[in-house]
Amino acid sequence: MKKPAGGMKKPRGTFGATTLVTGASSGLGRAISVELALRRCRLVLTGRQHSALEQTRKECLEAGAPQVDLIDADLTSPQERGVLWGFAAECGVEAVVNNAGAGVAGLWADQSWESDQHLLALLIEAPLDLAKRWVTSCRPLGRGALLNIVSTGAYQPGPYTAIYYAAKAFLGSWSLALSWELAPTGLVVTAAYPGALKSSFATRSGRAESPLSRSPAFAAQRIVRAWEAGHPHVVPGAREKLAVLASRLFPETWSAQVVGNLQASLLQASVLNRR
**pLDDT value of residue 105:** 86
Beta carbons of 47 and 69 less than 8 angstroms apart: no
**Pairing mode of beta strands 144-149, 187-192:** parallel
**pLDDT value of residue 130:** 98
Per-residue pLDDT tens over the stretch 35-93: 999 999 999 999 988 999 999 999 999 999 999 999 999 999 999 999 999 999 999 99
- What does pLDDT average to in each consecutive run of 10 residues of the chain (275 residues)? 39 68 96 97 95 97 97 96 97 97 90 96 98 97 96 90 95 97 96 84 52 86 96 94 88 80 69 40
**Every domain of the chain and the residues it spans:** 18-273
Per-residue pLDDT tens over the stretch 135-146: 999 999 999 999
**pLDDT value of residue 274:** 40
Task: Report how far apart, in Å, the C-alpha atoms of 188 and of each of 18, 101, 122, 199 are.
Answer: 15, 22, 22, 28
**pLDDT value of residue 185:** 95
**pLDDT value of residue 4:** 38
**CATH class of the domain whose range is 18-273:** alpha beta
Is the pTM higher than 0.85? The answer reads: yes
CA atoms within a 13 Å half-sphere pointing along the CA-CB vector of 264: 7
The CA-to-CA distance between both ends of the chain, in Å, stands at: 64
